[in-house]
Every structure is written in structure tokens, then in C-alpha cells.
Amino acid sequence: MANIENQKFIALDISEKNYLSWVLEVKLHLSAKILRHTIDEDNAASNEERATALIFLRHHIDDDLKYEYLIIENPLELWQNLNDRFEHLKAVVLPKALNDWSQLRFQDSKTVSEYNSTLFKIVS
């Protein structure tokens, strides 16, 4: 199935690799489109806003995830289901990144570019 509109950023991968960065991108884009409230609890979004947000979310997830969550018609419900599925990554990835950050020393690198590469890996 061909996408009519180009994706604004990389779609959420079913392998969980890019969930944390995907969440940030979605929140930013929904805020820019004045649709961020559609994924918040107790929102009073109109049907048109919910439909627009749902289309945006589905457009930016992997095809296998689309089929898995095909029957969901509320962006908040989709957001919460994805959050329940992938939220454990914060408990795994963040402590490791914080540990790597605290252990990072410039003198352990042979070159500045090697240090930069290590630094960017931790940040990402």
C-alpha cells in the first residue's frame, strides 16, 4: 500500500529500536498541528481532531503494528496501547545510557571523532 503523504519522520519499528525517539517526534508534530491534546487523558477533542490524529499516528507506525491495532478508532487508546507495549524500554535503555554517560571520558578515546561517535551513540 503506497503512502499518499510522505512521512514526517521514521515510522515506529515493530522491533522497538526507535520507540523513544518516535514518541518525542510524535509529541512535537502533534503539538505543531495543535492535536497534542488528542493523546492526553480526559481530552475534549472533536471527532475531526481524533480522526486527524489517528491518521497521523497510523501513518507513522510499522505496517505490522497497523494491522495489529487496526480496530482501534481512538488516538488516545492507540497511544496507550503502544505505550503499554514499549514503555519498558525506558527502564532498560535509560539506566544503561546514564551509566555509559557517567563512564565516558575523553582520554579513553584515541581521536576526537571516536569520542564524538561514542557520545552520539549514548545520546541517541
Domain presence at residue 44: yes
Which residues constitute the domain of residue 48?
Answer: 18-123
Residue pLDDT, tens place only, 8-67: 777 787 777 777 788 888 899 998 999 998 888 888 888 899 999 998 889 888 888 888
Rounded Cα gap, residues 124 and 118, in angstroms: 10
Identify whether 99 is part of a domain: yes
* C-beta of residue 66 within 8 angstroms of C-beta of residue 57: no
Q: Tell me whether residue 89 is in a domain.
A: yes
Please indicate, yes or no, if residue 10 is contained in any of the structural domains.
no
Q: What are phi and psi of 12, to 5 degrees?
A: -65, 125
Whether residue 33 lies inside any domain: the answer is yes
The predicted model scores a pTM of 0.66
Round to whole Å and give the CA distance between 29 and 12.
Answer: 14
Q: State how many domains the chain has.
A: 1
pLDDT-based confidence at residue 3 (cuts at 50, 70, 90) = very low
First to last CA, the chain: 30
Average pLDDT, the chain: 80
- Taking only the tens place, the pLDDT of each residue in 68-116 is 888 988 898 988 988 888 887 667 667 777 777 777 777 776 777 877 7
Domain presence at residue 94: yes
